[in-house]
Structure 1
Amino acid sequence: MSDPRPAYEQDRAFASTLARGLSVLRAFRAGDDGLTNAQIAERTGLPKSTVSRLTFTLGCLGYLTQPQRADRYRPGPTLLAMGHVAAASLAFLDPAQEMMQALADRTGTLVLFAVRDRDKVALMRTWRPQRVASIWLEVGHRLPVGGSSSGLAVLGATTQAEFAGLLEDRPENPLDGGTLQDLRLEARAQLVGQGYTVVRRALRHTRTISAASVPFRSPRLAGPVAFSCGALDDVLPDDRITAEVGPALRDTVARLQRLVGTQGSPAWPGTPTD
C-alpha cells in the first residue's frame, strides 16, 4: 500500500513538527472570532493533545495570542508582523489596488487575487464594487484547483515542473472524473484562445457563482497567481463574461504586467511541455 503523504513529507530532511505548527497557523481565517484547540484540531486533522502543545508554544513565541477569551487563540503580533513583511514584498499589489478597484466598480463584480496554497488556491485580497451588492468571499477562503476559475487559471499557467509540484500535494480531481492533466490542457487552450479561464459549470465548486480569471506572474513569486472577477450567475452570465468582463479582466492584468515590467511575457509557458 502506497504512503498517502506527499513525497517531500517522506524526505528525512522534512521537519514534521514544524509542518504541524504551520498547519495550526494556516487554520485561521479572516472571519474567525478566535479558535479553540478543538476547532483547530478539527480543521487541521491533528490530535487535540498535539494542538494544545503547538498552540502553547506558538503563544509563547508571539505567533498566537489569547487577548480576552482564554479558550480561544488569535493571530499574534509576531505573525501579523511577518504577514506585513510578506505583503510588502508583493510590490505589484500597490499599483493593482486602484486598477482592480476600478475594474470591480466598472463590472459590478467581486475582483479577487488568489495564490496556490498547497492543494488549493487561497484568496489573498478582494475588491468589492462600490454602491453595488456583490458576493461575499473572505480573505483566506480556499477553493479547489479544478473547481474554480482561479484554480483553472493557475493550473493553465503552470510549467511542467510546477505542475509536478502541484500533484505532490494531491489536489482533488475534477468533479467530472477527469484528470488534472486533461484540465490543465483545457485551461491552457482557453488562455491561448481568449486570455482568461472559465470553469465549466459541471466542475464548479460553487454552482451559483460565475467567474473569469487571468493568471499573473511576478519574479517575487515561485509560480503563477490569479486575478478573477466573480458574481452570481444572474449578474454574470456566460455571454457577459465573453462580451465584457473576461476581456476587461484580461486587459487590466496585461496593463498591470506592463506597469511592473513584465510586458511581452504571458503568464503561461509557450507549450504544455515547457
Structure 2
Amino acid sequence: MALKKRGGAVTDEMGDEAGGDRQFVTALSRGLDILRCFEPTDGPLGNADLAQRCGLPKATVSRLTYTLAKLGYLDYLPDSGKYRMGVAVLGLGYACLGGLKIRETAQPYLQALADHAGDGVLTALAGRDDLSMVYIACARAPGMVSLQQDVGSRLSLGRSSIGRAYLAALDQPTRAPLMERLRQRAGDEFWPMVERGILRSAEEIRARGFCLNVGEWVQGVNSVAVPLRPTQPGQPPLAFNCGGPSYLLTPERLERELGPRLVELANRVALVGRAV
C-alpha cells in the first residue's frame, strides 16, 4: 500500500484513515501491510524487497520486520538477512478459518461441482482481503491439468470473476470507496478497461445470477463466479467461482451449464447456512 503525503499529513490509498481517524493505528496497519507482501510462491524476502512492495521507507520496514520477528510472525534467516512467514501467522489463519463455518457447509457442494466439471477444474469460495480475494475453501476433480491454487491463494479484486462477483454483492456506499482504490491502483491508462469489466459483470449477475471472465484475469483461463451474500449476522460477503483452462471451460459451457449450476450451489449453501 503506497503512502502519500498530502498537506503535511501522511495518508494512504485506503483514504483518510491514517490522517483523519484518531482510532486508526497507522503502525499496526503498516505491520499488516508487511505480512501481506508475502505470496505463497515467494522465497524469503529482505527489507529492500518489502520496502519496494509496500511503498514504505526501508528504515521503517526494518523496524517493522524486527518487531514482527520478535513476535513470531516472521522468521529471520541470518545467512541471507531475509525473512519468511512465521508459524504465528499460520495460527491466525486457522483461527480465521475455524470461525467461518460457511466453508464447512460449502465444501461438499464445491467438490460435487468440481467432480461434475471434471479434469482438474477448480471450484472455490473466497472472501476479500484489502484489494484481493483470498480462497477460504477449494475443491478440484482428479486430472492431469489443474490450476495451481489452494486455500490462501490471492486473486485480483477488480480483474477476476470472483472479485467482480464480490463487488456486485456490495451496496453502493460500501462499493464506492473500493472502486476508487481500484482506480488509483490501476492508473488512468488501465482503469477504463477494469471498470468496464466490473460493470459488465454486475449487469450479468443482475440478469442471470453469474458473471463470466474469459481470459481477462489470466490469459488462457476462463471462469464463472457467483456472489454469496451474508447468511448470518457478522458474516462478510463472499463469492464462489469455477475456473480452469479455456480449452476445458469454453464460454459456451460456462454460460449454459456451469454458471447455472454455480448459482444453484450458492442458493443451496445460503439456505443451509441460514439454518445452521
Q: TM-score range by the shorter chain?
A: 0.7 to 0.9
Match of 1:187 among 175, 179, 201: 201
Aligned to 1:8: 17
With over 3 angstroms needed to count, the CA separation of the structure-2 counterparts of 1:44 and 1:92, relative to structure 1, is: same
Q: Which amino acid aligns with 1:236?
A: L
What whole-Å deviation, never above 9, does each CA across 1:81-126 have from its counterpart, x for those lacking one?
2221111110011122222122112102111222222233333443
Residues 2 and 167 of structure 1: is their aligned pair in 2 closer, same or farther, counting only changes over 3 Å? farther
**Residue identity opposite 1:237 in structure 2:** T
Show the counterpart of 1:270. Answer: none
Q: Which aligned pairs between 1:218-257 and structure 2 lie closer than 5 A?
A: 218=230, 219=232, 223-257=236-270
Map of 1:35 onto structure 2: 45
TM-score by length of 2: 0.81
CA-atom RMSD in angstroms: 2.9
Query: By how many angstroms is 1:242 displaced?
Result: 1.5
- In structure 1, the residue matched to 2:9 is none
Q: Helix, strand or coil for the counterpart of 1:114? A: strand
Return the offset for 1:240: 0.5
Q: Which moved more, 1:143-152 or 1:93-102?
A: 143-152
Verify the 8 A CA contact 1:162 1:223 in the aligned structure 2: no
**Higher deviation after alignment, 247-256 or 31-40:** 31-40
1:82-97 pair list within 5 angstroms: 82-97=92-107
Helix, strand or coil: the match of 1:147?
A: coil
Moved more, 85-94 or 137-146: 137-146
8 Å CA contact retained: 1:230, 1:236: yes
What is the aligned partner in structure 2 of residue 266 from structure 1?
none
| Residues 107, 137 of structure 2: 8 Å contact kept | no
Equivalent-residue separation in structure 2 for 1:48 and 1:19 (angstroms): 16
After superposition, the Cα gap between the structure-2 partners of 1:77 and 1:10, relative to the gap in structure 1 and judged at 3 Å, is same
- The answer to whether 1:120 aligns with 2:132 is yes
CA distance in 2 between partners of 1:140 and 1:72 (Å) = 22
Instruction: Tell me which protein shows more strand as a share of its residues.
Output: 2
Aligned residue among 99, 124, 129 for 2:141: 129
Question: For the structure 1 residues 224 and 130, does the alpha-carbon distance in structure 2 shift closer, same or farther, using more than 3 Å as the test?
Answer: same
Deviations 1:185-239 (CA, angstroms, capped at 9, x unpaired): 53333123211111366xx132211100011123365642211011111111111
Q: How far is the alpha carbon of 1:178 from its aligned partner?
A: 5.3
Q: Identify which of structures 1 and 2 has the higher relative contact order when contacts are C-alpha pairs closer than 8 Å and 6+ apart.
A: 1
Within 5 Å, which residues of 2 pair with 1:145-184?
145-167=157-179, 169-171=181-183, 172=186, 175=190, 177=192, 180=195
Q: Matched residues in 2 for 1:220 and 1:87: separation?
A: 17
The CA distance in 1 between the partners of 2:112 and 2:163, in whole Å, is: 23
How far the C-alpha of 1:58 sits from its partner, in A, is 0.8
Cα distance change of structure 1 residues 207 and 217 upon mapping to structure 2, 3 Å threshold? same
8 Å Cα contact 2:122/2:139 also seen in 1: yes
1:199 corresponds, among 206, 209, 213, to 213
Secondary structure of 1:260's counterpart equals: helix
Which structure has more helix as a fraction of its residues? 2
After TM superposition, give the deviation of residue 149 of structure 1 in Å: 0.7
Identity of aligned residues (%): 32
Contact kept, 8 Å, 1:29 with 1:140, in 2: the verdict is: no
User: SS of 1:258's equivalent?
Assistant: helix
CA distance in 2, matches of 1:68, 1:100: 43
Pick which of 38-47 and 100-109 moved more: 38-47
Give the drift of 1:67: 6.8
Partner Cα separation in structure 1 for residue 143 and residue 269 of structure 2:
25
* Cα distance change on mapping 1:114 and 1:85 into 2, 3 Å: same
Which of 253, 258, 267 pairs up with 2:271? 258
Aligned length: 260
1:272 equivalent in structure 2:
none
- The secondary structure found in structure 2 opposite 1:49 is helix
The superposition leaves residues 1-28 of structure 1 with CA deviations (integer Å, 9 ceiling, x where unpaired) of 9957413233142322111111011112
- Secondary structure at the aligned position of 2:127 is classed as strand
Structure 1 spans left out of the alignment, 5+ residues = 264-274
Aligned partner letter, 1:186:
R
CA distance in 2, matches of 1:165, 1:61: 33
Structure 2 unaligned runs (5+)? 7-11
